[in-house]
Amino acid sequence: MKTTKTLLTALVLLFMSANSIAQDRLIHWQKPENYAAYAPFTTHYFRGDLAVSHLSSINYGWLELGFFINSYRDPTVAICYKTEIIQTPRWRFHLMAGAGYGYKKQLFEYPTIPLSGTILFRTDFIPVGGATLEYFFSEKLAVKATFIPLVGGVGLQYKF
């Protein structure tokens, strides 16, 4: 819980500074570049498992469309608003929020998910949010880490 509170505090500070700092600075709020990404494996942070999830995404402007195989082995799609927060010559950091479909109400009242007992998880659509961190080792190719509450994955990203 303390880690979650610290992460949320950091994200709020980033958001506040993004609104007060010019676009050409290290911390900003701007449209991400277009890319496609694939991470074959993901893990649940607290369980330490490793699953083949085929986490795939395509980003076009502010919009990201994602696909993965969830923990119940069901195909899941997500659509998110995505924004770039930090950009250096090699590193990028993004935040995203949106909706996912594919869990078939299985996350309703899930013990480790905040707000899972609310209307947000009572339908077939669920809230999705998270962050990505990319390291570009060439002009178009990067290693991408995706962090979503409870789950993370690492894969490759191609900028087009």
Q: 2-159: what CATH class?
A: mainly beta
Q: Where are the beta strands (DSSP E) in the chain?
A: 27-30, 35-44, 51-60, 63-69, 75-87, 91-101, 125-136, 141-148, 151-159
Note the pLDDT of residue 23. Answer: 46
Q: State yes or no: pLDDT of 123 exceeds 70.
A: yes
Q: pTM value?
A: 0.79
Note the pLDDT of residue 22. Answer: 44
Rounded Cα distance, 95 and 2, in Å: 20
Place 1 in a pLDDT band, splitting at 50, 70 and 90: low
